[in-house]
Structure 1
C-alpha cells in the first residue's frame, strides 16, 4: 500500500471569499466554505505553478473542510468609473483578444462582492506521501503570496497546522476547535453563560459514494476552456470539546419532556 499523508491547514482571516458557479462580473458571490478548486489553487500558488500549467499531481489530492467558525456574510457595494472620463470597457473581447468598449457607452458601473468575515476553517488535504511532502514544504514557504479566494484576503498565522498519517475523517473529528479566545467568549455569551461542553460544527468531505454533488473539482486554471467538473461529497456534523466546564447548572437531556411546559 502506498504511504499517504494528510496536511492540516488553518484558513482564517478577517475576510475570505470562495467563488462558486454564480460568479459573474457584476456580482461576486462566495460559498459558505472553501471550495476544492480554491484550496487546490491555493496550493498551486504556494508551489509556484503558473495558471496555464496542468494540475499534474495536485489532481490526486482529496480534501475535507470543517467550519469551526462559519463567520458572517459581508456585502461590499461599489461603483467603477475611468478617471479619464472615457467609456468603460466591456467583458467582451475582439478577434485580437482586446476588450471592446461598452455599447451603448457606460461611464459608471455598479457591482457588489460578498465575503465571509471572521471565519475559520480546518482543511485536511490528503494524498500520496511523496506528493504531500512537496505540498507541505510549499505551504510553509510559498513561492507566491497566498490569498483566501481573492488577493485582498491574506491568511492569518498559523497557516500550516502540521501533518499526520491519519485519514481525513479521523483528523476532522479529533482536531481541536479552532475558535480564538475572543470567539469563544462571544460564543459563550450567546449561550447566556451556560458554557456547553461541546459545539457542533459542519464538515464536507470528498466521498465517491456521497449523496451531494458539487461543481468545484478543478480541471484547469486557464482563463478559457473547461475549468471545473463535479465531485461527490458527504456532509457531517461533528461535536467538538469547547474547553468550557459545563458547571453545576448544566442539566442533562435525559428524561426531558419537551411538552411539559405546555401542560401536556
Structure 2
C-alpha cells in the first residue's frame, strides 16, 4: 500500500467535529474531515465538488506534540435598516503549539496527485480553520510504500526542541487510526465528509481505534521525569 504523510504543525490548529451555534470546539487531534478538506483545497476542488474518492482513503494520525487548549471569542454587529444589532459572542477553541503526523492510505496514482497538489496548492491550506496556517516547514512528508500504521510508527518525530526538553528520556506518542471492519475497542465519531457544500454540509460516521502508542527515545529529555514514571508517578 501507499501512504501520503502530512506534517500538521502550526501556531494554532482547530479540528472541530461537533461545533454548534456560538461555540466552536476542537478535538485533541486532527479530524479526517478536516484533513480531507485540506487535500481538496490543495487540488482546487470547490465545496460543491464530489469528494467520495478522498473520503474513501484510510486515515490515521500520530500526536507528536500535544497542544494547549486556548479559547478566543469574537463579536459581530449586524447592520441594516435602522439601529445596528449586536450579535451574540462567539467562542472558538484552538490547539496552540501542537504538532501531528497524519497519513492517508490508498491508490498510489491518487496519492501522487495529492502530493503534487500540496506542493503547489490551488487554494490556501489551513489547519482546520482559515485562521490557522501551517508552519513554514510545509505540509507534505512524502509518499511511503508501507501500510498506514507502519508509516506513522516509523516517521520522524516532529516535536520542537523546547518541547522535547520538557519530556522524559522516553516518550509515548498517541496513535489514532481508522478501524478495520470487526475490530474491537473502537470509538465511533461523525467525521466522514459527504459534502462540504455551504448550503448543506453532511458528515457520516467512522470507527477509530487507539493503537499501542509509539515509543520514541528522547536524548534531550529530563531524566527526573523517567525516575518518577518508573515509580508509577506523573
Q: TM-score, normalised by structure 1?
A: 0.78
Q: How much does 1:122 deviate?
A: 0.4
Kept in 2: contact 1:65–1:122 (CA 8 A): yes
Determine if the alignment matches structure 1 residue 126 to structure 2 residue 105. Answer: yes
Among residues 55, 61, 67, which one is paired with 2:57 in the alignment? 61
Kept in 1: contact 2:52–2:194 (CA 8 A): no
Q: Which residue of 1 aligns with 2:207?
A: 232
Stretch of structure 1 that moved more, 36-45 or 162-171: 162-171
Determine if the alignment matches structure 1 residue 213 to structure 2 residue 193. Answer: no
Determine if the alignment matches structure 1 residue 27 to structure 2 residue 19. Answer: no
Q: How much does 1:107 deviate?
A: 2.5
Query: What is the CA–CA distance in structure 2 between the aligned matches of 1:118 and 1:87, rounded to whole Å?
Result: 41
Q: Which residue of 1 aligns with 2:161?
A: 181
Query: What is the CA–CA distance in structure 2 between the aligned matches of 1:246 and 1:151, rounded to whole Å?
Result: 36
Q: Which residue of 2 aligns with 1:17?
A: 14
Q: What secondary structure sits across from 1:183 in the alignment? A: helix
**1:168-207 to 2 correspondences below 5 Å:** 168-185=148-165, 187-188=166-167, 195-196=168-169, 198-207=170-179
Kept in 2: contact 1:216–1:229 (CA 8 A): yes
Kept in 1: contact 2:112–2:143 (CA 8 A): no
Kindly report structure 1 stretches of 4+ aligned residues shifted beyond 6 Å. 249-254
Which structure 1 residue ranges, 5 or more long, are not aligned? 89-105, 189-194, 259-264
Query: What is the CA–CA distance in structure 2 between the aligned matches of 1:55 and 1:151, rounded to whole Å?
Result: 20
Instruction: Indicate the RMSD between aligned Cα atoms, in angstroms.
Output: 2.6
Determine if the alignment matches structure 1 residue 153 to structure 2 residue 129. Answer: no
Q: How much does 1:118 deviate?
A: 0.5
Kept in 2: contact 1:176–1:241 (CA 8 A): no
Query: What is the CA–CA distance in structure 1 between the aligned matches of 2:221 and 2:27, rounded to whole Å?
Result: 34
Query: What is the CA–CA distance in structure 1 between the aligned matches of 2:94 and 2:48, rounded to whole Å?
Result: 27
Q: TM-score, normalised by structure 2?
A: 0.87
Q: How much does 1:139 deviate?
A: 1.1
Q: How much does 1:253 deviate?
A: 8.7
